[in-house]
Amino acid sequence: MTVVHLGARKTARRQLLDTALIRFGKASVRCNVCNISERGALLDIGTQTGIPDQFVLILPRSKTYSCNVVWRKRGRVGIAFS
Protein backbone atom coordinates (compact mmCIF):
# COMPACT_ATOMS: atom_id res chain seq x y z
CA MET A 1 0.00 0.00 0.00
CA THR A 2 1.33 3.42 -0.94
CA VAL A 3 0.16 6.44 1.04
CA VAL A 4 -0.09 9.74 -0.81
CA HIS A 5 1.09 12.76 1.19
CA LEU A 6 -1.59 15.05 2.53
CA GLY A 7 -0.56 18.38 0.99
CA ALA A 8 -3.78 20.44 1.08
CA ARG A 9 -5.95 17.34 1.71
CA LYS A 10 -7.59 16.72 5.06
CA THR A 11 -7.11 12.94 4.89
CA ALA A 12 -4.38 10.81 3.31
CA ARG A 13 -5.19 8.97 0.11
CA ARG A 14 -3.83 5.54 -0.66
CA GLN A 15 -3.06 4.18 -4.10
CA LEU A 16 -5.63 1.67 -5.25
CA LEU A 17 -5.73 0.27 -8.75
CA ASP A 18 -9.00 -1.60 -8.77
CA THR A 19 -12.06 -1.86 -10.99
CA ALA A 20 -15.39 -0.58 -9.69
CA LEU A 21 -18.89 0.15 -10.96
CA ILE A 22 -20.60 3.52 -11.14
CA ARG A 23 -24.32 2.95 -10.74
CA PHE A 24 -27.01 5.52 -11.49
CA GLY A 25 -30.62 4.62 -12.11
CA LYS A 26 -30.65 1.29 -13.95
CA ALA A 27 -27.30 1.95 -15.67
CA SER A 28 -23.78 0.86 -14.65
CA VAL A 29 -20.41 2.00 -15.99
CA ARG A 30 -17.03 0.38 -15.22
CA CYS A 31 -14.22 2.58 -13.94
CA ASN A 32 -10.79 2.30 -12.34
CA VAL A 33 -10.21 3.62 -8.83
CA CYS A 34 -6.77 5.30 -8.84
CA ASN A 35 -6.67 6.35 -5.18
CA ILE A 36 -9.05 6.52 -2.24
CA SER A 37 -9.38 8.10 1.20
CA GLU A 38 -12.00 8.21 3.94
CA ARG A 39 -13.63 11.19 2.21
CA GLY A 40 -13.34 10.50 -1.52
CA ALA A 41 -11.53 9.00 -4.47
CA LEU A 42 -10.01 9.59 -7.89
CA LEU A 43 -11.70 7.63 -10.68
CA ASP A 44 -10.47 7.00 -14.20
CA ILE A 45 -13.64 6.78 -16.26
CA GLY A 46 -12.57 7.41 -19.84
CA THR A 47 -15.62 8.95 -21.45
CA GLN A 48 -17.76 10.92 -19.03
CA THR A 49 -20.79 11.13 -21.29
CA GLY A 50 -23.89 10.41 -19.25
CA ILE A 51 -22.15 10.20 -15.86
CA PRO A 52 -24.29 12.30 -13.46
CA ASP A 53 -23.01 14.50 -10.62
CA GLN A 54 -24.37 12.04 -8.04
CA PHE A 55 -24.08 8.24 -8.20
CA VAL A 56 -23.27 5.10 -6.21
CA LEU A 57 -19.76 3.64 -6.44
CA ILE A 58 -19.57 -0.13 -5.97
CA LEU A 59 -16.15 -1.55 -5.09
CA PRO A 60 -15.19 -5.22 -4.96
CA ARG A 61 -16.02 -7.03 -1.75
CA SER A 62 -19.45 -5.32 -1.58
CA LYS A 63 -18.34 -1.84 -0.48
CA THR A 64 -20.71 0.88 -1.71
CA TYR A 65 -20.47 4.66 -1.43
CA SER A 66 -22.90 7.45 -2.29
CA CYS A 67 -20.81 9.97 -4.25
CA ASN A 68 -20.82 13.56 -5.44
CA VAL A 69 -18.58 14.69 -8.30
CA VAL A 70 -16.18 17.44 -7.17
CA TRP A 71 -14.28 17.90 -10.45
CA ARG A 72 -13.87 16.39 -13.94
CA LYS A 73 -10.79 16.54 -16.17
CA ARG A 74 -9.58 14.44 -19.14
CA GLY A 75 -11.40 11.22 -18.36
CA ARG A 76 -10.81 11.46 -14.61
CA VAL A 77 -13.28 12.39 -11.89
CA GLY A 78 -12.64 13.48 -8.32
CA ILE A 79 -15.45 12.41 -6.00
CA ALA A 80 -16.46 13.04 -2.41
CA PHE A 81 -18.33 10.42 -0.40
CA SER A 82 -21.62 11.67 1.03
Report the range out of 8-12, 34-38, 47-51 with the highest average pLDDT: 34-38
| CA–CA–CA angle 49, 30, 19 (5° rounding) | 140
Segment 37-80, tens digit of pLDDT: 999 999 999 888 889 999 999 998 879 999 999 999 999 999 99
Classified by CATH at the fold level, domain 18-81 comes out as Thrombin, subunit H (2.40.10)
pLDDT at 4: 47
Identify the helix (H) or strand (E) that includes residue 16.
strand 13-24
16, burial (CB in 10 Å: exposed 0-12, middle 13-18, buried 19+): middle
pLDDT at residue 17, rounded to an integer: 73
* Alpha-carbon dihedral 33, 64, 68, 43, rounded to 10 degrees: 10
pLDDT band at 6 (very low <50, low <70, confident <90, very high): very low
pTM reported for the whole predicted model: 0.81
- Kindly tell me the number of DSSP H helices and DSSP E strands found in the chain: 0, 7
